[in-house]
Structure 1
Amino acid sequence: MNTNETESSPTLVFIPCFSGAPWSAEQLAPYGEAPKRTLRLPEGVDDIERYADHVETAIADLDDYVLVGDSFGANIALALATRRPRGLRALVLSGGFAANPVDSKPWKALMRVVGKARGPLYRQLTLRAHAHRLASPFDDNGQVPWSEARSRDLFLANTPATSFDARLRAVLTADYVDALGRVRVPTLLLTPSHDVLIGENASKVMLAGIPDAREVVLPNTGHMFRFSHPATYASAVKDFLDALPTTRQGADA
């Protein structure tokens, strides 16, 4: 086997949040001409490994890529990265977690109950409560003013109640803490300064467990910073990518 260095621009693979909706053109635009790919999450899936299977299949044709996962998508990206897939050059995890970040047993129990809501209860109770947990004081001051109403609309348009419930069960059972050491690529933990939903301990766990991880906290942002601050978010990602080696090791038989 002979090794050779090959220059290339990795494809940026953007993995959706809990809503399941692909990243929008508005959120992808700040990355300019970089090769990009996004996808919609499958419906009704209640296991993170199966979401990782879905992503792995969708990018099977790529031999050089960076996974960029936001929130729930960060957990999916992390799950895939622990498999050490061929072609993965780097990892970006924003507002993510290695295991269910909710410590309170009463809140966990409430999450299970809320997830079972259907019809008007889902639309009026579950989604309003979830949008409230996603909110921050900085949402309306970004490049794209955001609000609880816009978060709720995002889920109304993209997330059936059965999928919300299934993804909630996936969150409650996900645990990659013991597998963090298997991630062997440079990793950026992109963290908002205000995040009621995830909390500050989640990034600390990943920072301690992933060998080549670094954290950037974006001031005056909340959990929905990919939506409210797309340019600020993309700038941090691009700074990280610009610092990566410009060549990668390839193998020829």
Structure 2
Amino acid sequence: MTISSSTFLHGGNVRANGIRQHYLRYGGKGRPVVLVPGITSPAVTWGFVAETLARHFDTYVLDVRGRGLSESSDALDYGLDACAADVGAFAEKLDLDGYALVGHSMGARIGIRTARRHPRGLERMVLIDPPVSGPGRRAYPAQLDWYIDSIRLMREGAGFEALRPFSPTWTEAQLRLRSEWLHTCDERAIVATYDGFHQDDIHADLKQLDLPTLLMVAGRGDVIRAADLEEMQQLMPAMQVAHVPNAGHMIPWDDEPGFYRAFGDFLGVAIQGDDHARQ
């Protein structure tokens, strides 16, 4: 995408829920959409998705606390409740009435907790391949060391090629962007989130929700299996489900056109996107 056709407007910071939250804004018109990335994905790494969503929506991409340019410290609570409160406070601070939350992985779990505990202004939600681990459940398939080792390599100044063993199917452009920003992920935040994958019960939240929800499932991710999907549909019978069969957990990186197709018209308009992620 050329600079002249970019939908990027600006970055910014707000003080909400007692911390400085950094965000990127794209588009500026239409339904507000708040995009909440995954465990080691600063906001900028989802810019290519925001560029496309912003053709139709006023799109905000959050740096979750402890990632990117948002606040981090050894005094912060990095748990799911705190992150969900951040989203609710962010939306309230910017007066995002009737917004849609689009969350990937960790961001989807944050979305679920936000919808239950901080629903003000939240109208609908897209859950992109959320980890379904929790107390007494099957463990999340990725190992904590995968995240921590890659962060430490980037913090020490290793080049993008050092990330290739971690993400062997990614393009050079994808690896370069990840290598540039991965060092901003606070290890304390990553450990707390990973532990929360196994300690927080999002299924108890799901059965309390009644807002329109779309669940997007990666066909090759092994995060959501058939039995998991069946249980989630029992908890939220009205939930819509879309499959992206040729993608792993990082869906828009693996199959960007399929990712956009999976939205259908759930957000009010069909999303048409170019394949940026594989470039």
Comparing 156-165 with 171-180, greater Cα deviation is found at 156-165
Could you tell me which of 39, 49, 56 is aligned with 1:33?
A: 56
Distance 1:114 1:52 in 2: 25
**Contact 1:14–1:69 under 8 Å retained in 2:** yes
Comparing 37-46 with 89-98, greater Cα deviation is found at 37-46
Query: Which one has a larger percent helix, Structure 1 or Structure 2?
Result: 1
Query: Residue 175 of structure 1: CA displacement?
Result: 0.7
**Contact 1:146–1:228 under 8 Å retained in 2:** no
Residue 93 in structure 1 maps to residue 127 in structure 2:
yes
Task: Name the structure 1 match of 2:34.
Answer: 13
Residue type at the aligned position of 1:58: F
CA displacement, residues 80-134 of structure 1 (integer Å, 9 cap, x when unaligned): 11236122221100110354396259x89x74x888879569989xx979946xx
Could you tell me which of 54, 79, 85 is aligned with 1:53?
A: 85
- The TM-score, its normalising length taken from structure 1, stands at 0.71
Distance 1:169 1:86 in 2: 28
Task: Name the structure 2 match of 1:212.
Answer: 238
User: Alpha carbons of 1:129 and 1:53: their partners in 2 closer, same or farther (altered >3 Å)?
Assistant: farther
Task: Name the structure 2 match of 1:224.
Answer: 250
Distance 2:177 2:198 in 1: 21
Instruction: Give the aligned CA root-mean-square deviation in angstroms.
Output: 3.7
Query: Residue 191 of structure 1: CA displacement?
Result: 0.7
Distance 1:104 1:77 in 2: 20
Task: Name the structure 2 match of 1:4.
Answer: none
Structure with more relative contact order (C-alpha pairs < 8 Å, separation 6 or more): 1
Aligned residues: 222
Where does structure 1 lack aligned partners over 5 or more consecutive residues? 1-7, 245-253
Query: Residue 34 of structure 1: CA displacement?
Result: 1.4
Residue type at the aligned position of 2:109: N
**Contact 1:68–1:74 under 8 Å retained in 2:** yes
**Contact 1:78–1:98 under 8 Å retained in 2:** no
Where does structure 2 lack aligned partners over 5 or more consecutive residues? 1-28, 67-71, 271-279
Q: How does 1:1-253 map to 2 (within 5 A)?
A: 9-22=30-43, 24-31=46-53, 32-43=55-66, 45-60=77-92, 61-83=95-117, 85-100=119-134, 103=138, 111=144, 119=152, 131=166, 139=169, 145=171, 153=179, 156-196=182-222, 198-200=223-225, 201-242=227-268
Corresponding residue SS for 1:51: helix
User: Alpha carbons of 1:152 and 1:121: their partners in 2 closer, same or farther (altered >3 Å)?
Assistant: closer
